[in-house]
Amino acid sequence: MFADKPQTLADPNEQQQRKAMLQTEPAIQELEEWREAYAKTRKEPVPHFDPADAGSAARVLFLLDSPGSNTVTAEGLGFVSVDNPDQAAERCWNERNEAELHDGILQWNTVPFFLDGAEPTPIQTIAGVKALKTVLGLLPRLQVVVLCGTFTKTQWAKHMGAFTRPTVIKAPSPGGKALISKKNQEDFRKAVRRAKSLVG
């Protein structure tokens, strides 16, 4: 389900609807079962997968660094989602919408737990990579991974070389100052459009 505008999770009603969907959307159940079990092994919060995404039926994975501030709120855990109320999510939404890349998508992070803006330590990074390998094993239809940002690209190159099933597309981060550069904007756009061309 691709929303008709960006930042829809700024609406509390939409947040509640997504939380209800966690219990009902078949494609998200296996991933959320893994997330719940994994969260019990971490002291850091582990946000939810977005039940509006394709879940275990995903063909394209957008992989970012670590969960942003909107994934954990005073009201509890949020979602790793293109619909979050922040600029990085909006950039992703806009480029996906322009490319008509609406279906078969999952968004997740190299380090899946919330770090509250801190850089991951080497131990946290290795823990994240191990978790990512498990998540990839739960995506049997995966065809494309879009690596967003320097950290994610570096960790994939170091630890995921043997994982050759999906086509890997390298992209700038959609967050922070990365897309101030016109070249980065165009590179991100090209990455999204290439993903679309590969999955149709």
Q: How far apart are CA 171 and CA 77, in angstroms?
A: 27
**How many CB atoms lie under 10 A from the CB of residue 21?**
16
The pLDDT assigned to 161 comes to 73
pLDDT of residue 163: 64
Residue 182 is predicted with a pLDDT of: 85
Predicted pLDDT at 191: 97
Contacts of 55 (CB under 8 A, 6+ apart): 25, 26, 27, 28, 29, 30, 31, 49, 106
DSSP per residue, 167-192: EEEEE--SSTTGGGSHHHHHHHHHHH
Which pairing describes strands 48-49 and 79-80: parallel, antiparallel, or unpaired?
parallel
* Domains of the chain, residue spans: 8-199
Residues 6+ apart with CB under 8 A from 78: 9, 15, 47, 48, 70, 71, 72, 84
Q: Are 109 and 66 in contact (CB under 8 A)?
A: yes
Query: For domain 8-199, is the CATH number 3.40.50.1220?
Result: no
User: Tell me, what's the pLDDT at 76?
Assistant: 79
CA 20, 110, 84, 139 dihedral sign is negative
Tokens of 146: 């879009």
Cβ 157 vs Cβ 63: under 8 Å: no
Q: Could you say which residues of the chain have pLDDT below 70?
A: 74, 162-164, 178-179
Q: What is the pTM assigned to this prediction? A: 0.94
pLDDT at 103: 94
